[in-house]
Amino acid sequence: MTRPPQNDHDHDPFGRPVQVEPRDSRWKRRIAGGAAVLALIAGGSATGAFLAENHLTGRPVPAATAATTVTEDANLAPIVAKVQPGIVTVLVADSLGSGVVLTADGLILTNNHVVEGGGTVSVRLSDGRTVPARIAATDAAHDLALVQATGLSGLTPVTFATDDSIAIGDTVLAFGAPLGLEGTVTSGIVSALDRSVDTGGDELTGLLQTDAAINQGNSGGALVDTSGRVVGINVAIATTGDSSGSVGLGFAIPADTATAVVNQLRAQL
């Protein structure tokens, strides 16, 4: 919508009157246009991540060759060493995602969208072993699922924080298998709280937002604080329309929601 010239500034350089679009209207149109090209879901079936892994190496990337990318702060290395044994890769048919260890005998928490496609399930541990697994319970509304790996003992469970322990600006690390690169760690901060993401089916609310790099394959992995506690489960990213990669807007299901859902799901087992 335009309006007729209303003051001396609504003229071109030659003094002729011009039609001016209201400032608020121009601003809203730019915001809406930007939002229209955001794709808000990470991982999906993670097929893209699995294919990228094979394209890069010709075979699955073993844990021993995984990349670790953190800041230059040397204090982060002990955190990585502490958390990494509790992070796994979840493989379902030709899909790939991440997960966190809940119990020593192999109960794994991941995203529901990692496993909902069905098919044979297996879990690859941080030491490179791959073991068969089954889907134990799911909660589609919160996009969380439990997977039970078989024949395991002595695993290292992760420790969860509470929502009141996290604040905007806190340093966090994201663990998982982005683009099939297992054992990857990225760093950033919590950049916002209480975000909502429309996944196309259900709306996820109360999410943590982070600028730690998260990509396809990170789904179900851990977002941890500098004490090595899980503050969120990575679930989604925002991307521009011409890219499926990280643009520094990732989202995680907060710890309190994750632990509440886990308790509900375990009660059904």
Q: Among 2.40.10.120, 3.20.20.70, 2.60.40.420, 3.40.50.720, what is the CATH number of 40-269?
A: 2.40.10.120
Token pair belonging to 120: 């044979």
> What pLDDT score does 244 carry?
66
Nearest to 123 by CA among 149, 97, 102: 149
> What pLDDT score does 15 carry?
52
Q: Where are the domains of the chain?
A: 40-269
One-letter amino acid of 247: V
DSSP 89: E
Token pair belonging to 253: 């299901």
> What pLDDT score does 34 carry?
35
> What pLDDT score does 241 carry?
65
> What pLDDT score does 80 carry?
97
DSSP 115: H
CA distances from 129 to 119, 124, 126, 154, 161 (A): 20, 6, 7, 14, 28
Q: What tens-digit pLDDT sequence spans the chain (269 residues)?
A: 444 344 444 444 445 554 433 333 332 332 233 332 233 333 433 333 322 222 222 223 333 333 444 444 458 999 999 999 999 999 998 889 999 999 999 999 999 999 998 899 999 999 999 999 999 999 999 999 999 999 999 999 999 999 999 999 999 999 999 989 999 999 999 999 999 988 666 789 999 999 999 998 999 999 999 999 999 999 988 877 666 678 888 999 999 999 999 999 999 88
Q: Which residues are catalytic?
A: 113, 143, 219
Cβ atoms of 174 and 250 closer than 8 Å: yes
Residues counted in the chain: 269
Helix (H, G, I), strand (E, B) or coil at 152: coil
